Amino acid sequence: MAKFLALGDSFTEGVGDEDPLRPNQVRGWADRVAEVLCARGDWEYANLAIRGKKIGQVINQQLDLALSMKPDVVTVYAGGNDILRPKADLEALMRGYDGMVKRFAESGSKVVLFTGFDTVDSALFSKTRPRTAIYNEKVREIADRHGALIADYWRWREFSDLRYWAVDRLHMNSAGHTLMASKVLDVLGNHGITAGNWASDIQLPILATVPVDARGEKFRQDLRWAKEYLGPWVKRRLTGTSSGDSLNAKYPDYIHLGA
């Protein structure tokens, strides 16, 4: 029985891909990958990711448990919440990240790492692009050092299409998570972890035509977004709280996940 384990933050928890019947009421790309693995092969799946977690928290709160679970394949993505904080010491944080990946590699797990998304087209997050580029280079160095695989979010330009993004403008929506699941399955298949093209089991969504919004409607959308998402996000930063403070991991033990 092969074991697939996912850890990290909201990206891997599945925020933006709403499903009220699932733990934490989200599905996400990792669940979607696991559904294919469990349907096509002898796999089990666990997911320790919780929204809002930073690199240090993933290391301190998820790493030891993850190692004790002895995964055959482990996906790791953390750092997006650190990049949004300009005073975060990326050099120091990535040394810890390197140590985490080293421990997985030495335990025999095949590690899949993610680069960060290129925010060049985002009016809100474009200023974080230089920090994301530094983060990505560190991730590539770590992958080279420990034989990890790369899921190259930075270079997957399809995700620049706003139709893959949730209304909070920070997380992928269901279509985005579906596309990401297909991409990750491609990475696994291209490196012989899965036999054949299992990504073909993911039915990619047909994207809706984008309506042309009048300037006034665009302004109203921006105001609504600022009130419903930006304001609460800023408040959490100022109060030192996180959207994941009251949540537990979706799947802390291995399960055979069905669609």
Summarize pLDDT for 158-211 with one digit per residue, the tens. 999 989 999 887 899 999 999 999 999 999 999 999 988 899 999 998 898 766
Phi-psi group of 59: left, alpha or beta (phi > 0 → left; psi -120 to 50 → alpha; rest → beta) = alpha
- End-to-end Cα spacing for the chain: 19
User: Letter for the amino acid at 257?
Assistant: L
Instruction: Compute the radius of gyration of the chain from its Cα atoms.
Output: 18
Q: Is the pLDDT of residue 216 over 60?
A: no
pLDDT at 121: 83
Give the pLDDT of residue 219: 47
Contacts of 132 (CB under 8 A, 6+ apart): 83, 116, 117, 118, 119, 154
- Residue 28, sorted as left (phi over 0), alpha (psi -120 to 50) or beta, turns out to be left
How much is the pTM? Answer: 0.90
The architecture CATH gives domain 2-209 = 3-Layer(aba) Sandwich (3.40)
Tell me, what's the pLDDT at 49? 98
Counting every residue, how long is the chain?
A: 259
pLDDT attached to residue 215: 55
How do residues 45-101 score in pLDDT, each as one tens digit?
Answer: 999 999 999 999 999 999 999 999 999 999 999 999 999 887 889 999 999 999 999
The phi, psi pair for 7, rounded to 5°, reads: -140, 160
**Domain locations in the chain?**
2-209, 211-244
3-class DSSP state of 53 = coil
β strands within the chain, DSSP E: 2-8, 43-47, 73-77, 110-114, 149-151, 251-255
Distance CA(242)–CA(235), nearest Å, equals 10
